[in-house]
Amino acid sequence: MVKFGGTSLATAAQFKKAAAIVREEEARHYVVVSAPGKRNKEDIKVTDLFIKATEEGQFDSMMIKIITRFRSIVRGLGLDFDLDSEIDRIRNTYRDGAGEDYLVSRGEYLAAKIMAAYLGYDFVDAEEMILFDEKGDLQYKETVARIATVMDPHDNAVVPGFYGKDTEGRIRTFSRGGSDITGALVAAAVKGDVYENWTDVSGLLMADPGIVRNPLTVPVITYKELREITARGTEVMHEDAVYPVRKVGIPVNIRNTDKPEEAGTLIVKNADYYPSILKISGISGETGHASIMVEKDRLNADSDIRTKLLQVFAQEEITVNSMLAGVDTLNVLVDEEQVKGRKRELSEKLRTAIDADKVSITDGLATIAIVSRHMAVSPGVSVRILTALAAEQINVKLLDYGVDGISMLIGIEENNFREAIKAIYSEFVKK
């Protein structure tokens, strides 16, 4: 199962690269495509053109842009493809009230039709097999069963990503970036050997390239580790695309269409079979955090007190990112934005709710998450992290050793952020 993202299909030349990848390996049977993406930084994705076309008075001018883009792809591929009839059909169906999701999904539809024609593969429409309920939520089990049945007679096929049909027969889309989910569902349903996700990067980087120069690509990572990394804001693929393949244990391989010679990142259930030279799988971090420290005698022994505190957070609509409990202290990590301009008022509320001895709120914090499946099983990983920071005179203000033993969260002052990431990276990668 092979999926290509929007930048991998942005031009005829990119289509050719993608097709060459498919043809190179006989085992690449099924292809899921996104809509053509940006050709350069200033460009607009085809999906965004369609979204704009749904706005009042924008339809005709946006359609001209969309047609121009697809025409240049069809011409560049030297294909005999009846684009005009397809466009007429889209125009009429939309005018007849097919809905906004229908129009927005047509980038994937056209890309898949063109790719199928170019490869000589069957076109199988996602609307036949990706099933949503009337609220627009995916019907998971039904979808997987249906894909298996529909795909069965096809040896090779191209399927448009991003959309399906609801119980009322209307086209519905996933959230943005949702072609990844289609790919994962097809991979799971056809019991693929691997789900190759071809994009414009060579996989997941060990650290932010804006901080560490030329960081290494993570060679192998587990689904669990990936979850930790994406929860901290590093985007790899759509969050909901992990579940279907993880459930059945199909590995995901993130690859770069422009550098097919690179192995990319392999995401697996169990990494024991892969030699691992590095003891960590990734470092991700964020600035803009605050910690709220509440002190009261026997605070954590009394569950009533803790409940009352959490109620205050709920009432004030403050999301708790992480929570550390001591004997008499509870330290809660939140986004700085949530306490901005209301530190005093919030402290007072928390203090009176439980008659606390002290409440202090510190902002200007950064958090760094180090993800490592070796953390709890290999002695020394956490010590090395802390030693690397100590060597740079960086004070650790807060430390959370993840409950599942595969990550460590560190709170430091924001002005140490970049240095801290560099120090940890050097310790594990450069050494």
Report the chain's C-alpha Rg in angstroms.
Answer: 25
Residue 161 vs 411, nearer CB to ligand ASP: 161
Contact yes or no for 58/32 (Cβ under 8 A): no
Residue 60 structure tokens: 């005709």
Q: Does 6 bind ligand ASP (CB under 6 A)?
A: yes
Q: Does 161 bind ligand ASP (CB under 6 A)?
A: yes
Q: What angle do CA 286, 287, 292 make, to 5 degrees?
A: 105
Minimum gap (Å) between residue 148 Cβ and ligand ASP: 22
Residue 47 vs 234, nearer CB to ligand ASP: 47
- What kind and span of H or E run contains 290? strand 282-295
Q: Does 178 bind ligand ASP (CB under 6 A)?
A: yes
Minimum gap (Å) between residue 27 Cβ and ligand ASP: 24
Contact yes or no for 202/262 (Cβ under 8 A): yes
Residue 253 vs 426, nearer CB to ligand ASP: 253
d(C-alpha 113, C-alpha 15), whole Å:
12
Which member of 179, 199, 281, 362 binds ligand ASP (CB under 6 A)? 179
Site map 63..102 versus ligand ASP, x via CB under 6 A:
----------------------------------------
Closest CA to 5 of 47, 37, 43, 39: 37
Residue 110 vs 189, nearer CB to ligand ASP: 110
Residue 409 structure tokens: 């969260």
d(C-alpha 259, C-alpha 214), whole Å:
16
Minimum gap (Å) between residue 31 Cβ and ligand ASP: 14
The DSSP annotation for 338-396 comes to GTTT-HHHHHHHHHHHHT-SEEEEEEEEEEEEEE-TTTTTSTTHHHHHHHHHHHTTPPP
d(C-alpha 365, C-alpha 411), whole Å:
6
Minimum gap (Å) between residue 261 Cβ and ligand ASP: 25
Q: Does 160 bind ligand ASP (CB under 6 A)?
A: no
Minimum gap (Å) between residue 2 Cβ and ligand ASP: 14
Residue 51 vs 361, nearer CB to ligand ASP: 51
Contact yes or no for 33/3 (Cβ under 8 A): yes
Binders of ligand ASP among residues 107 to 126 (CB under 6 A) are 107
d(C-alpha 127, C-alpha 182), whole Å:
11
Name the one range near ligand ASP by CB under 6 A: 171-179, 184-192, 194-202, 373-381.
Answer: 171-179
The DSSP annotation for 201-229 comes to SSS-BSS-TTTSSSPPBP-EEEHHHHHHH
Q: Does 14 bind ligand ASP (CB under 6 A)?
A: no
Minimum gap (Å) between residue 430 Cβ and ligand ASP: 36
Q: Does 244 bind ligand ASP (CB under 6 A)?
A: no
Minimum gap (Å) between residue 34 Cβ and ligand ASP: 3
Which member of 162, 313, 417, 425 binds ligand ASP (CB under 6 A)? 162
**Diameter of the chain by CA atoms?**
78
Number of residues that bind ligand ASP (CB under 6 A): 13
Name the one range near ligand ASP by CB under 6 A: 133-141, 173-181, 190-198, 385-393.
Answer: 173-181
Binders of ligand ASP among residues 35 to 54 (CB under 6 A) are 35, 45, 47
In the complex, the residues that contact ligand ASP under the rule CB under 6 A are 6, 34-35, 45, 47, 107, 161-162, 176-180
